[in-house]
Structure 1
Amino acid sequence: MSDWQVWLIAGVLLLVAEMFTPGFWLACLAIGAFAAGLVGLIPVVGTTIETVVFAATSLLSMVGIRPALARRFRLGVGSGVRTNVDALAGKTGVVTERIAPGVRPGRVLVEGENWRGASVDGVVLEPGTRVMVVQVDGTTLMVEREPES
């Protein structure tokens, strides 16, 4: 088996392994392996030069490409991307069960799901009233009457 084939197989295996690990570290090594494989196609180049190309390209991709990928695909705290129930903030819905502050929370239909709802500003909201989710408190949507447009 030629050197370039070994580098190609290593690159593919590293990309597959990257799917199961966070951080894009193995993807950077895969880029290095692919670069070394390309250099390995040149008949007069030896294993030492291929290894240097692998190391240099991997290092450069870790410094140059990895930070951009991490910023682009990062989810979680501090990313600005809302997921799960937090993604409901700002959505509109309809009151399905009367919301009477101080008495008990009602129900709100938002994006096809029925949630417990409470009025954020202490106003009674009757069924059929269009509301906007202001925040989420556990499994209760804190809502206010949707502004008239």
Structure 2
Amino acid sequence: MPVPLIWLIAALALAGAEVLTGDLFLLMLSGGALAAAASSWLLALPVWVDGLVFLLVSVLLLVGVRPAIKRRMQSGKGLLDPAKALEGKSALVLDRVARHEGQVKLDGEIWTARPHVETDVYEAGDQVTVVHIDGATAVVAKIV
């Protein structure tokens, strides 16, 4: 089997394994293996030179490229959590809301609800405000 093909297979295997980790480490090694495959194919140098190319390119990618990519990936605000978007909205009590029971209509959908203060009770027809979302339950308080 030709040496460039072995490096190419190693590059593909490392890139495939990166999908499982998501840390970008194996992807940088894959780039080094791809560079070694290219140098082996274009220059036809001894195998130890290919290994040296792999080592140098991998280290350069790990030190120079990986930190920048990781910073870029982690710097974004990301998407707003849909549950966070509901906090502060007004809701209509459909069924009596007490410690272990209740339903409210929130943003056109029916949600199970419980009061923010456990001793509070809200009757059907009351307007409440969503304090926060706890799983699939809206924690509500009376509008003042």
> TM-score surpassing 0.5?
yes
SS at match of 1:107: strand
1-side partners of 2:107 and 2:32: how far apart?
A: 45
1-side partners of 2:59 and 2:123: how far apart?
A: 59
Runs of 4+ in 1 over 3 A off after TM superposition: 68-74, 79-83, 92-96, 102-105, 108-115, 118-129, 131-134, 143-146
Match of 1:28 in 2: 28
Pick from 133, 136, 148 the counterpart of residue 133 of structure 2. 136
CA positional deviation for 1:111: 7.5
CA positional deviation for 1:143: 4.1
**Larger helix proportion of the pair:** 2
Gaps of 5+ in 2: none
Pick from 81, 84, 90 the counterpart of residue 89 of structure 1. 84
More divergent stretch after superposition (54-63 vs 42-51): 42-51
Count of aligned pairs: 138
Q: Deviations over 1:55-113 (max 9, x none)?
A: 11111222223234434556xxxx86579xx641223685462464x565522456886
Q: 1:111 to 1:70 in 2, by over 3 A?
A: farther
Sequence identity of aligned pairs in percent?
29
Q: 1:36 to 1:132 in 2, by over 3 A?
A: farther
Q: Does structure 1 residue 61 correspond to structure 2 residue 61?
A: yes
Report the structure number with the largest CA radius of gyration: 2
Q: 1:134 to 1:82 in 2, by over 3 A?
A: farther
Match of 2:39 in 1: 39
SS at match of 1:65: helix
1-side partners of 2:34 and 2:26: how far apart?
A: 12
- Provide the aligned C-alpha RMSD in A: 3.8
